Structure 1
Amino acid sequence: MNSEMVTTITGLLGGLAVFIYGMNLMSEGLQKAAGEKMKKVLGILTKNPIVGMLAGALVTAVLQSSSATTVMAIGFVSAGLMTLPQAISVIFGANIGTTMTAQIIAFKIDDFIWPIVFIGFVLYFFPKKESIKNIGQSVFAFGLLFVGITTMSNVMKPLADSPVFLSMIEQVAHIPILGVCVGALMTLVVQSSSATIAVLQNFASQPMADGVTSILGLTGAIPILLGDNIGTTITALLASVGQPKNAKRTAAAHCVFNVTGTFVFMWFVPLYAKFIQFISPKGPEIEVISRQIANAHTFFNITNTIIWLPLIPLMVKIVMKLIPDGKQQAAEQPLYQTRFLDTNVLKQPEAAIRLAMLELTRITEYVTEMAGHAKKAFLRGDTDAIGAVDSLEDVVDILQDSITNYLSSLCKTGKLTQGQSQRVAGMIRAASDIERIGDQYTSITNFAKLKREKEYTFTEEAMGELEEGFNHVQEMLRLTIRTLHDSDLETARQVVHQQESVEDLERRLSRKHMERLNLGSCSPENTVAFTDVLHDLECIGEYCSDIAEMLLNEKDSVIKMEKIDQRMNEA
């Protein structure tokens, strides 16, 4: 291997590395800049198919990766946030959204690359305001993306003079199926269809000896482009391993979408090339072929989506056939196993936070079950209820550890905005508070065991007062679940307000117990159990209030940051 070939290969790999780094950095910057808006966009993914498709395209344009959007959709299907048809519509949109990268690359901005890099650098590294830094990061990464493209373009020029290489390209250009295989293999290795299409655009822009004709041509580029679309489905298929069947079917739908589209378009490559040339800008082939490839990519995905969108029920049947339910029912999932957390979506913070919040809500539901059992255990001496509390306590402890580890891993990605970091910190505290509520109900159950062993008896009045306390705190727990699940600020304020009534209740019932002691109607031996159970209930109310305040503080922080941004913009 001569030095010129080594220079070409290393330059191509180096340029590709800079391109991929720039694309990932731009995706991170755009996500941070979008901030709360990403939360709203994710919220509409589960609407009707057309809205889901548009939202999928928008999310992919921000993430700069159809694979990332597809992995997110798989995670949402696995969590039960999306039905299979909804996820399929999002995937259709993701395939359209990913074509934006190729359209951007087709612009000729060579003279502006370094000014863009410098401006982005200044905005990224010097301002203290987070929103400006995020925009600067996106601009800086955008410049790096084109630095990588220019590097690849420069090192590819000698290839046009290599007879051996031209002979290989001629084979690919005249055997479409070979081009599809090359494209799929390239994307499989690089794990980014946007990167391989960028390489394709730059390679096709290299001239033959006449200085005008592309060494590949649009007819030769289209099969490789189609192969790129197939290769990008591998990431989604890998992400679905170990997931529920509907998650696997979502990944399969992505594969079926691109494979069927490729199969149809393969028969019409020459006609398709002429059509793209007709609708694209005119000029020397090497000057316009990059835009032609981008247009071919966009039109392929739009046409494929238009065909498949009304046929979503058919797509569902196909993937159900490919991945059937099977005769045997799957074993029931253990309670201590997480249902919503998906490590594949950690690089998309808003999606990961949403899944963690669902898992947090699920733990709170288990603690609410503990509340009902603890009440039966103490007031009625139900031995089965005592065992149920002990079992659920172990489940809550394990799930709390899982959520805390998941959120800690999310922090380690370094992709969180200041607002997202505050939300994650609040959720970690909330998980701890929920686990402590479980501890309090375990404490109450221990008193139930003691009450049974020592044969303590309480007056009817005392039991009625304790039942009132149990009911009041259970209502707070129910409202806390609604607060977590719906991010309902009004309910959160209601929970915080109810904490005052729990404290009043504890003082009132303690006073009444002392009065009964003075009158001799209540046994002194019962005092410890009675007062400690009341204290446990008061602590539970405090933890519920803390969880509700976490949500209220999160919203206040967002409002404060928006006001600060507004003032700085006005200044």
Structure 2
Amino acid sequence: MGSSMSFSVTLLDLAGFAALLLWGIHMVQTGVMRALGPRLKVVLGRALRHPLQGFVAGAAVTTLLQSSTATALMVSGFTAAGLVALVPALAVMLGANIGTTLIVQVLSFDVTAVAPVAILAGLIMFRRGAGTGMRDLGRVMIGLGLVVLALSHLVDLLRPLEDAPSIRMLLGAVATVPLLDVLLAAVLTWAVHSSVAVVLITASLAAQGVVPPNAAIALVLGANLGSAIAPVVEAMGRDDAAARRLPMGNLINRILGVAVALALIEPIGRWMVEFQPDTSRVAVDFHTLFNLATALVFLPLLKPFARALEWLYPDREDAADPTRPRYLTAADRDMPVLALGAAAREALRLADALEEMLDEAAGALLTGDRRRIAETRGRDDIPDRLNREIRTYLAMLDPEDMSPADRRRVEEILAFSANMEQAADVVCGRLMTDAGKRLKRGIAFSSAQQAELDQLMERLKANIRLASSLFMTADPRAARLLALEKTAFRDSETLAARRHFDRLRQGLATLADASGLHIDIVRDLKLVNSHVVAAAAYPVLARTGELLDTRIAAGPEPADLS
């Protein structure tokens, strides 16, 4: 009874310190991401131009994050967005695998004395830190201290298990089937999202003689395999071939390496024992050698490997898909003059999409057809994605390579695309809500009201075309003409409001319903026009000094109340 109770408590202690280990790794990762997240993405973005740079950056970033899974998810996002090529992205993952070995090597030594110091220093920085950066660094220090503390206690708990008959029998049965060891460690690594933790626990088991060297090697292979599963599971949830290539490439890399090592596990085990007689170091050193070997083998083969992945996961995206960027290419990002031209051409597609949406909206407002209303609402994805892709593309440009004129052009492109997207949101949202109200209430516009709406629609489409031209030419004369269009739409709104009030005063409820909806539509069209003017006219007028800070007329000086 006593031994059973003691065994239960030991298992509970093991689970608790394993959880503490994972929580420490999580604290390190979140602290680094909060402190350096944007910078890490910039470093990766720059490094992803060349495979060797990507390899080094992957190792460095993973060492900071304490997780190759986090690096994989970050780089997968870059490749899915088309911002980086597949070859350097695959190189990053090879480097990330090396990064995990560096973490394991450091934590495998007896650094127990560091734990209290790290936790105390981290707590002081977290509680007394003047800025968020210092607090985030404190979080990292606390996490490192918890990792070291948890590992030392795990070793102490595992040491008595060497003589536990039930544990030795269980692990002995598992140790006789290397494939079972691999699968067990792979599932465990996928569950906890940390190959570092699994390898370190394996090293502790081997140090206490609980598992023989060959079983430890098989468990390490499983940890390497399991670290590649989580990004694949994440990618499978997306219907995008580009998002699946990198995670699957990393998984294939792991599977091939594990398969070869598993087939040669007997000679590898004998050689590792001769190479490293200290059983506590066999798992750790094999982890390093395995990842170095796979990196050396796969680095020269990345180009044909990438082509094979592209063949295995071909692009299924329709070239005519209106939401797909046509001009944003990664190759142009090294030359800002080309990149800005490509982004400007892509931004003009937003204006074309807005004009087409207005045509659809006019038809939906005229007919009140539910299908046309739904189709117009569904077109909202086009400007949303294009604007997002433009922002992401411009954010990847190196500011040091740009002149002041280039940076000003970046601001103009961002302003143009953002305002065009917001104008499209009004069309798909508020205008289609107006169309739904007309259908639901059975409202019929008079011929004069319908003619006025048609006229405003045509005028608005002409303004969109003028804005597109102005965006490319920056002609101050065209900017003044476009800015004056705000007055025309404001006058239309004032006239519509006056007519609606007259009908309310006359008690013409049926006509008032129509005029009320009419003024709502006029106001929404005025809002669309305001975004169009802000997209192209305001940047030019601001540059020439013709844009006033306020429309309020200058009045007399305020009286001196002193």
- Which category describes the TM-score, using the shorter chain as reference length? 0.5 to 0.7
Give the CA deviation at 1:188.
Answer: 3.8
What does residue 225 of structure 1 align with?
220
The amino acid across from 1:47 in the alignment is: R
Matched, 1:471 2:454: no
- Correspondent of 1:32 among 34, 44, 49: 34
Give the CA deviation at 1:227.
Answer: 1.4
What does residue 285 of structure 1 align with?
278
Decide whether the 8 Å contact of 1:22 with 1:145 is kept in 2.
yes
1:315-354, Cα deviation, whole Å (9 max, x unpaired)? 3465567x5669xx7899997999xxxxxxxxxxxxxxxx
Decide whether the 8 Å contact of 2:55 with 2:92 is kept in 1.
yes
What does residue 560 of structure 1 align with?
none
Query: Separation in 1 of the partners of 2:295 and 2:528?
Result: 56
Decide whether the 8 Å contact of 1:96 with 1:301 is kept in 2.
yes
What does residue 64 of structure 2 align with?
62
What does residue 305 of structure 2 align with?
315
State the SS of the aligned residue for 1:107.
coil
1:468-512, Cα deviation, whole Å (9 max, x unpaired)? 743343357x68xxxxxxxxxxx9xx99xx98885456459999x
Cα distance, 1:118–1:96 mapped onto 2, change above 3 Å: same
Cα distance, 1:506–1:195 mapped onto 2, change above 3 Å: same
1:413-440, Cα deviation, whole Å (9 max, x unpaired)? xxxxxxxxxxxxxx99997676247669
Give the CA deviation at 1:257.
Answer: 0.8
What does residue 422 of structure 1 align with?
none
Cα distance, 1:181–1:39 mapped onto 2, change above 3 Å: closer
Q: Which moved more, 1:240-249 or 1:169-178?
A: 169-178
Query: Separation in 2 of the partners of 1:539 and 1:143?
Result: 56
Query: Separation in 1 of the partners of 2:300 and 2:181?
Result: 30
1:246-265, Cα deviation, whole Å (9 max, x unpaired)? 43343332222111111222
Decide whether the 8 Å contact of 1:430 with 1:546 is kept in 2.
no
- Correspondent of 1:369 among 344, 353, 362: 353
What does residue 259 of structure 1 align with?
255
Query: Separation in 2 of the partners of 1:127 and 1:430?
Result: 43
Q: Which moved more, 1:236-245 or 1:21-30?
A: 236-245
Give the CA deviation at 1:539.
Answer: 1.3
Give the CA deviation at 1:189.
Answer: 3.9
What does residue 394 of structure 1 align with?
377
Count of aligned pairs between the two proteins: 455
Give the CA deviation at 1:178.
Answer: 3.9
Decide whether the 8 Å contact of 1:366 with 1:392 is kept in 2.
no
State the SS of the aligned residue for 1:14.
helix
Matched, 1:250 2:251: no
Identical-pair percentage: 20
1:492-540, Cα deviation, whole Å (9 max, x unpaired)? xx99xx98885456459999xxxxxxxxxxxxxxxx99x9799546511
State the SS of the aligned residue for 1:80.
coil
Q: Which moved more, 1:115-124 or 1:185-194?
A: 185-194
When Rg is computed on C-alpha atoms for both structures, the one with the higher figure is: 2
Give the CA deviation at 1:165.
Answer: 2.8
Decide whether the 8 Å contact of 2:69 with 2:227 is kept in 1.
yes
Query: Separation in 1 of the partners of 2:538 and 2:119?
Result: 44
- Correspondent of 1:160 among 145, 162, 185: 162
Cα distance, 1:72–1:389 mapped onto 2, change above 3 Å: farther
The amino acid across from 1:300 in the alignment is: F
1:250-305, Cα deviation, whole Å (9 max, x unpaired)? 3332222111111222344455456656777xxx836xx24x43332122112101
Cα distance, 1:23–1:375 mapped onto 2, change above 3 Å: same
The amino acid across from 1:48 in the alignment is: H
1:354-403, Cα deviation, whole Å (9 max, x unpaired)? xxxxxxx999955641136648999xxxx99x999967751365789999
- Correspondent of 1:236 among 211, 214, 231: 231
State the SS of the aligned residue for 2:110.
coil
Q: Which moved more, 1:108-117 or 1:363-372?
A: 363-372
Give the CA deviation at 1:193.
Answer: 1.6
Query: Separation in 1 of the partners of 2:538 and 2:11?
Result: 56
Decide whether the 8 Å contact of 1:396 with 1:435 is kept in 2.
no
Cα distance, 1:158–1:454 mapped onto 2, change above 3 Å: closer
What does residue 121 of structure 1 align with?
123
Query: Separation in 1 of the partners of 2:377 and 2:458?
Result: 30
Decide whether the 8 Å contact of 1:499 with 1:541 is kept in 2.
no
State the SS of the aligned residue for 1:2.
helix
Give the CA deviation at 1:136.
Answer: 0.4
The root-mean-square deviation of aligned C-alpha atoms, in Å, is 5.4
Give the CA deviation at 1:157.
Answer: 1.8
Give the CA deviation at 1:130.
Answer: 0.6
The amino acid across from 1:115 in the alignment is: V
The amino acid across from 1:237 in the alignment is: V
Cα distance, 1:219–1:444 mapped onto 2, change above 3 Å: closer
Matched, 1:540 2:531: yes
Query: Separation in 2 of the partners of 1:333 and 1:164?
Result: 64
- Correspondent of 1:299 among 289, 296, 302: 289
1:438-476, Cα deviation, whole Å (9 max, x unpaired)? 669889999xx9898768599x9x999978743343357
* TM-score, normalization by structure 2: 0.64
Query: Separation in 2 of the partners of 1:393 and 1:464?
Result: 18
Give the CA deviation at 1:234.
Answer: 2.3
Decide whether the 8 Å contact of 2:195 with 2:224 is kept in 1.
yes
Structure 2: segments with no counterpart, 5+ residues: 326-344, 387-416, 437-443, 492-518, 540-562
Cα distance, 1:46–1:507 mapped onto 2, change above 3 Å: same
Decide whether the 8 Å contact of 2:420 with 2:532 is kept in 1.
no
* TM-score, normalization by structure 1: 0.63
User: Relative contact order (C-alpha < 8 Å, sep 6+): which is higher?
Assistant: 1
